[in-house]
A and B are shown apart, each in its own frame.
Chain A
Amino acid sequence: MPAARFGRVIQPAPALRIRDLHKSYGTVHALRGIDLTIRPGQFFGLLGPNGAGKSTTIHILTGLVTFGRGEVQVLGRDVALDYRFTRRVIGLSPQEFRFDRFFPIREILILQGGYYGIPREEASRRADRLLERFGLAGKADHKIHRLSGGMKRRLVIAKAMIHDPEILILDEPTAGVDVELRRSLWAYLRELNRQGKTVVLTTHYIEEAEALCDEVAIIDQGRIVAQDAPQRLVEAGGDRRLEIELAAPPADGLPPSLAPHGPRLDGRLLSISAAHPRRILPGVLEDLYAADLKIEEVRIVESSLEEVFIRLTGRSINVDTDARRLEDGTEKQGADEAA
């Protein structure tokens, strides 16, 4: 971003600014020119299937992955030249659990604070607050192997928050957690965002992006294929239509007055694509009544972000979601058997 000079309004630097970012692993071209700008205070989602480049992008921001070509800035500063600043303002909650196994979890948090320059007494106070906030106070003196999966997930996020970062980056924060914990994590992240933190998350779960993010970027095969508010992505890229089930197939065909809407008739099912199905609904119903056609059911169908995703990438994102549903089913079955 050019420096603001005489009389120009100074724009705050973007929280994250990535330009033409490329990354190869040997012959595999993992990132093929990522361009991404995230404003301070946004709740941003990076949506993409496995191997799309989400984690690679995130790890480049924190310095865990080197990159070939491109420009990466955090709050206006270069991640390589000014790494002390850029790393200080980012909190990373990685997808995998990687904990220092030698120390109890309270000490893990204090050490993490120390690595980020927070003196021990202050880090201890913050650790206690975070343990309390995440319901882990009772486990403060336990080592990591005595924690359940859900507790480890909470600890990962607490660890990312110990130095009170401006920007919180979460890689698949709710992968494999139960519904209750997912809801409480969502509430926590919303609260942080309300307090002004920039939150960036990668996710497999479309419903998560829809529920939380004010903007999402769909990333596929190392490129960003779409970026907008979830609702606008659906409006722009999705199909919305009116579906009307008639009592019987119309003997004389559809009334000619419907022709401008481009109706499709399949037996008893009449469907009309429209940008705003609700607006045309009254007129369509009137025309059908006038032609003496009886109506059994009326539906307004809007495609989901999921369908938009499939349209853009040519595949479904939620291989993992399906696996989870299966898992949930299995668990439930197991519980039933036990009961």
Chain B
Amino acid sequence: MTALGYRREWAVGFWTLTRREVSRFLSLWKQTVFPAVLSPLLYILIFGEALGARIRLIDGFPYTEYILPGLAMMGIITSSYSNSSSSLFMARHEGYIDDVLIAPMSYWEIVLAYTIGAMVRGLVVGALVLGVGLAFADLPMAHWVTALAFMVVVSALLSCAGLVMALWAESWDHVMVLLNFLITPLVFLGGVFYSIHMLPDFWRGVSLFNPIFYMVNGLRYGVLGVADASPWLSFLISVGLTVVLFGWTVHLFKVGYRLKS
């Protein structure tokens, strides 16, 4: 087989799996995309309209606009994680992951394909939430390249987290453990609904140890041009975590953790 043959094969296998991942969630859009866009709108309605009128401007923005980037980031985080974790867990649970494992694909191709598939879902949801925001509120989109960069990096990070959990999990409850007991609380404590300057000193200090705080603020900087943390520090933390988690995921696939006997 020629070197060319290998390259061709590489591209086809990798893109086939990526395409499969994307078409899976698109065919289930009523479960995978719609609720993820609906719930931020509910937050805007409830918090924005009911509470927003009682809250003065934060960093010069009305409350509804201030929370929108955070809501988009929340959608990206939960959607990316849910996609990769449920897709891989299902494939493992039902055994059809073997189709991919016995195919002539390398482990990092497999991980990258699953990751990109989940990233697409996160990005679609994030873009829709921001799109709705743009339609109803006056978002400045101050640094849109920065905004896009944070959306891409965070969706990749959470996709990898989902893959690790899908490998470790032995039941659906396990798959959701990280999301329910760690990620969601961290999202709520990560400044989606408030600026940490509104917190007492102690809680403000604690917030600085929450990685999701940096992700929310990164996107807020990109969209509104204001943030509680340095965008560079936020980006560095997000990229660093993503690189580590991607490497770990590839490693787990390579050693066949809970995939091979």
* Chain A interface residues toward B at CB < 8 A: 25, 59, 62-66, 83-85, 87-88, 90, 92, 94, 96, 98-103, 111-112, 114-120, 159
Contact = CB atoms under 8 A, between A and B. Distances in A.
A115 B1 contact: no
A59 B95 CA distance: 14
Contact of A116 (B15, B28, B90, B104): B104
Contact of A84 (B6, B19, B260): B6
B98 A64 contact: yes
A62 to B, nearest CB: 4
Contacts of B8: 117
A79 to B, nearest CB: 11
B45 to A, nearest CB: 33
Interface in B71-121: 90-91, 94-96, 98-106
A94 B100 contact: no
A87 B100 CA distance: 11
Across the A-B interface, the 8 shortest Cβ-Cβ residue pairs: A114-B16, A117-B9, A98-B95, A115-B103, A62-B102, A84-B104, A87-B104, A88-B104
A100 B102 CA distance: 15
B102 A87 contact: yes
Interface of B: 1, 6, 8-10, 12-13, 15-17, 19-20, 23-24, 27-28, 90-91, 94-96, 98-106, 256, 260-261
B12 A114 contact: yes
A68 B220 CA distance: 52
Contacts of B101: 63-64
Given A64-B98, A99-B96, A115-B100, 12 more contacts: A63-B102, A85-B104, A87-B103, A98-B94, A98-B95, A99-B94, A103-B23, A114-B16, A115-B13, A116-B9, A116-B13, A117-B9
30 contacts: A59-B261, A64-B98, A64-B102, A64-B260, A65-B261, A66-B260, A83-B104, A84-B6, A87-B103, A88-B1, A90-B102, A92-B102, A98-B95, A99-B96, A100-B20, A100-B96, A100-B99, A101-B96, A102-B27, A103-B20, A115-B13, A115-B17, A115-B99, A115-B100, A115-B105, A117-B12, A117-B13, A118-B12, A119-B12, A120-B16
Contact of A94 (B20, B90, B98): B98
A96 B1 contact: no
Contacts of B24: 102
B255 to A, nearest CB: 8
B183 to A, nearest CB: 25
A90 B16 CA distance: 19
A305 B6 CA distance: 44
Contacts of A112: 99, 103
A116 B10 CA distance: 9
Given A87-B103, A94-B98, A114 B13 contact: yes
B82 to A, nearest CB: 15
Contacts of B16: 111, 114-115, 120
Of A88, A114, A159, most buried by chain B (CB within 10 Å of CB) is A114
